[in-house]
Structure 1
Amino acid sequence: MSTTDPGTSVHFRLQIDGIDLGPFNTCTGLGVEVEVERRVEGGNNDFVWQLPSRITYPAVTLTRPLTADSAKVMRFLASLPQQVNRGTAQITALRPNLKETIVQWSLRDVVVVGWTGPSFDPSRSEVATESIELAHHGFL
């Protein structure tokens, strides 16, 4: 049995092609899905073949409050019109001290497909957040 505490209050660090975009508070979409084709076997009514076919990976979205690291994302996004290349990304789950790694996922053929900035409404007192969305073709 492990004697270490499980990761709680996790933060995520995002790097794309070695460029550190800083820590994020939430990460959604890490996963894989295998589509299955069902084939009924003739003459055998109590058996259905389930054949794996296509593998898909949902987009990964990372979100955080606006910080000084938001400028890193803006510099990265400013370079996109000149070069849209598929690269690699590392998403690292960190303990709250932002130094100890819990686990790391490496994604291949990554493209930034979206960025959402904050919405400002003077009638509502909320934290200004930003989100970045990544499409990818699997894990390394």
Structure 2
Amino acid sequence: MSEMYPPVSFYFALSLLEGMGGQAVFFKEVSGITMNMETEEISEGGNNPFIHRVPASSKYSNLVLKRGIIPKDSAIAKWCFDTLDEMSAAIKTHSIVVSLLDKKGNSLKSWNFVNAFPVKWTTSGFDAGKNEILVETLELEFAYFSVLK
């Protein structure tokens, strides 16, 4: 692992762990690696103005991935289209790994997202007056995540 501190966000790779052959798709931007604790308020009996806040559960944001056009024949694109288009079929969840890569392609840090499935696929607007790259955004929900390294 590179000894760069703090690591610079060069680019990211997303890999499906099972059933997709470990094929990686690279992304320019990743957001939503967020976890927060929800709390529950409990009023104290006999002392009405006093409220206890106790931990209830962890909550996770959706994982949002952005890049240029995702290749149509990639395993991730097929999984997304099958999930979002085929409402008659059971949704297949996958564990996925998102890795921060350095300029040489070495993994600096990785996160494992368990029971992930796509909930949204967006293509940026088309504007002939601008010289911009078309960006696709993939949004995934998941049960929880862990840091691998």
Q: Deviations over 1:53-99 (max 9, x none)?
A: 13211100010123xx53324333343325521221111111122x2
- The alignment yields a C-alpha RMSD, in angstroms, of 2.4
Structure 2 residue matching 1:76: 3-state secondary structure:
helix
* Structure 2 counterpart of 1:11, one-letter code: Y
Count the aligned residue pairs: 135
Q: How far 1:33 sits from its partner (Å)?
A: 1.6
Work out whether residues 92 and 104 of structure 1, in 8 Å CA contact, stay in contact via their aligned partners in 2.
yes
Q: Deviations over 1:23-72 (max 9, x none)?
A: 10111101112111233434668964221113211100010123xx5332
Work out whether residues 9 and 96 of structure 1, in 8 Å CA contact, stay in contact via their aligned partners in 2.
no
- 1:5 equivalent in alignment to 2:4: yes
TM-score (norm 2): 0.76
Work out whether residues 9 and 100 of structure 2, in 8 Å CA contact, stay in contact via their aligned partners in 1.
no
Aligned counterpart, 1:57: 60
- 1:93 equivalent in alignment to 2:92: no
Q: How far 1:10 sits from its partner (Å)?
A: 2.5
**Runs (5+) with no aligned partner, structure 1:** none
**Runs (5+) with no aligned partner, structure 2:** none
Aligned counterpart, 2:36: 33
